[in-house]
Chain A
Amino acid sequence: MNKRMLKAAIGLIVLAGLLVVPRFVESPYALHMMILLFLSVSQGQSWNILGGYAGQYSVGHAAYFGVGAYTTMMLMYSKQVAPWVGVWAGVAAVIAVALVIGSICFRLRGPYFVLASIAVAEIMRLSAINLTTLTNGAEGILVTEIPAFKIGERVVTDFLTKVPFYYIGLFLALLTLAIAYWVQHSKLGYYFQAIREDQDAAHSLGIHISVYKNIGLVISAVLTSLAGSFYGIYVGFVDPPTVLGLDVSVQIMLICIIGGMGTIWGPVLGSLLLVPLSEALRSNMITEGLVKIGLVSADSKVGLFLKENLAHAHVLIYGILVVLVILFMPDGLMGFVKKLASRRKREAA
């Protein structure tokens, strides 16, 4: 069996496994973790298309995530628009935002895009806080009831369990991966990478720089918007910090940077590391674990300190992790894996 067939076979088995998970796993918590994983993959991979392939670092992807989430939620909340319709309004809004940013910043050289991306996300966040008639301001929008999804008279799902969300999340992650794969294996991907590697060389070889950067931005923004809409509907609640905060933008970048930029599997690896890690930090699992293996006792000073503080050290631990990855694995987890593989190949030869 050749390598390609082996890869395809493994892919199919994993896919089949993912498809049947909800049949065997009943724990809502486990499904919830899987959904977060899918969400993370699609966020990281969306960012990757622009940041990893085209080399344009957006530190404001929360803008697209939040606008997608808010548009869908606002329409559902005040106009009773079904989310699978509202999603497309979110996409349209996000395309408009992306093209405004892109057409201004991509004409310029230098760090303008990075700075503008942060600024735009902040503008969106402040707008969400202040346009209270539309957005409910800092209170956020809570929508607990999603209309049942019907085809004709038949109810496909009424969204009462996590299972439909599991499948939507899976679909979203696969869709994003497929689009990234298609980009990588098309003229678009070659042009993105040429721009990333050397803009002047790319320009002299016939590449219209700002057009291709805008294409990359729009693809990336639309996919991020879909992820945002999905998040809003799944959680049933959006407010400015959770979907438009700077830490949302940073989180999206980190999935890709830690996993490996400009690769298909990087954001998947990044998600496999970061989602469980952030969950463990949030729920204080690390402290409990340390107590369980007897490294610290629960009522000692250290134990109490950890219990009290580790959950809040989320951001700090993330920061340390990024520094470590950048120092020791400049090409992310994926780069590290590739290096190991090529070393083994060389040793075998």
Chain B
Amino acid sequence: MPILEIKNVSKFFGGLAANSDVSFSMEQGMIMGLIGPNGAGKTTLFNCITGYYPPSKGEVIFNGRRMNGLQPDKVCKLGMVRTWQKVRPLAKLSVVDNVMVGALVRTISLKTARDMAMEQLKVVRMEHRADFLAGGLPIGERKKLEVARALATQPKLLLLDEVMGGLNPAESDEIIQLILDIKAQGLTQMVIEHDMKAIMRISDRIVVLTSGEKLTEGTPQEVVSNQDVIDAYLGESHA
């Protein structure tokens, strides 16, 4: 059984179809890359999947359960969590407290939550930052904090929205390694990223969106050799 099925999902904002009739499914343990030009509807699709917006049409099925109409908090409790493209640190809380907020969805004990949080901070190599205020972190660490906080909710499916956006190559490499480590733990991931090299390296399959529609789907090799993709998206950079 696929862990996630997107069935004919559309999302309209007034007259604009930010997603139209998007379908694909994901198997347990895989990394699905989600690419497309700016404004293609990638973040909107995350919003529809995680309950931030109800899809205008279509269905989202997670672990066999229909998710339409569920609120983000419920979605998180059921095991699906996303990070934010425009990072959302809880600025006046410390780094470890930020991650604890994530962990607290699984426990009522602060002590347990703190242990869980420190564990996730180790995963993203930020233990030394535990007591810093989240609002004062540089962008690279804010992105990693997003990941640690999401991981602390102990998801079955992790949705990463441009966690490499705005990072330098060294930081991006660190994130790539992090995503692969998370995969090795058996966690399923959907990753939005603009950096083609990175997405090729980490993805098992890739879905390409343009103007809200699914252009194609396939393995990284299939996608980069697809003429439509080259025309529509890769054209500029790979020509």
User: Which of these binds chain B: A6-14, A61-69, A72-80, A196-204?
Assistant: A196-204
Interface pair B90/A194, CB less than 8 Å apart? yes
One of B72, B91, B100, B110 near A204 (C-beta < 8 A): B72
Secondary structure call for the A interface? helix
Q: Mark A160-183, 1 if CB is under 8 A from B, else 0.
A: 000000000000000000000000
Which B residues lie within 8 Å of A191 (CB)?
A: 101, 104
10 pairs of A and B residues whose beta carbons are closest in the complex: A206-B105, A206-B76, A197-B90, A201-B88, A203-B72, A194-B101, A198-B88, A208-B73, A204-B72, A205-B102
Q: Does A159 contact B (CB under 8 A)?
A: no
Q: Are A205 and B100 interface neighbours, CB within 8 A?
A: no
Instruction: Determine whether A190 belongs to the interface, using a CB cutoff of 8 Å to chain B.
Output: yes
Interface centre among B73, B91, B153 (most CB of A within 10 A): B73
Determine whether the beta carbon of A202 is less than 8 Å from that of B101.
yes
| B73 pairs with A206, CB closer than 8 A | yes
Residues of A within 8 A of B105 (CB): 205-207
Find out whether the CB atom of A190 lies under 8 angstroms from the CB atom of B88.
Answer: no
Complex CA gap A133/B2 in Å reads: 67
Point out the residues of chain B lying under 8 angstroms from A203, CB to CB: 52, 71-73
| A345 partner residues in chain B, CB cutoff 8 A | none
Instruction: Give the total of A residues in contact with B, Cβ under 8 Å.
Output: 20
Q: Which residue from B89, B92, B108, B153 sits with its C-beta under 8 Å from A205?
A: B153
Smallest CB–CB gap between A153 and chain B, Å? 45
Decide if A206 touches B77 in the complex (CB within 8 Å). Answer: yes
Q: Which residues of A are in contact with B by a Cβ distance under 8 Å?
A: 185-187, 190-191, 193-194, 197-198, 200-209, 262
B interface residues, Cβ below 8 angstroms from A: 50, 52, 71-74, 76-77, 81-82, 84, 88-93, 97, 100-102, 104-105, 108, 110, 113, 149-150, 153
A-B contact pairs, 8 of them (CB 8 A): A194-B93, A198-B88, A201-B84, A202-B101, A203-B52, A205-B150, A206-B104, A208-B74
- Given A204-B52, A205-B153, 7 other A-B residues pairs in contact with their CB atoms under 8 A: A186-B110, A190-B101, A201-B88, A205-B102, A205-B149, A206-B153, A208-B74
Whether A190 and B72, one on each chain, are in contact in the complex, defined by CB atoms closer than 8 angstroms, is no
Residue of B at shortest CB range from A194? B101
Given A201-B88, A205-B102, A207-B73, decide whether A187 and B110 contact each other with a Cβ distance below 8 A. Answer: yes
Expressed in whole angstroms, the Cα–Cα distance for A197 and B135 within the complex equals 10
CA distance A19 to B88 in the complex (A): 46
Minimum Cβ distance to chain B for residue A262 (Å):
8
Pick from B52, B93, B113: contact of A193, CB below 8 A: B93
A185–B110 Cα distance when bound, in Å, is: 8
Chain B residue at smallest Cβ distance from A212: B73
Inter-chain contact B73/A190, CB cutoff 8 Å: no
In the complex formed, the residue of A with least CB distance to B80 is A204
Q: A197-B92, A201-B88, A203-B71 are in contact. Are A187 and B108 (CB under 8 A)?
A: yes
Contacts of B150 in A (CB 8 A): 205
Bound CA span A240–B97, Å = 43
Which residue of the partner chain, among B82, B104, B153, contacts A187 with CB atoms under 8 Å?
A: B104
| B48, chain A: closest CB distance, angstroms | 13
Question: Which A residues are CB-close (under 8 A) to B91?
Answer: 197-198
Closest to B91 in A: A197
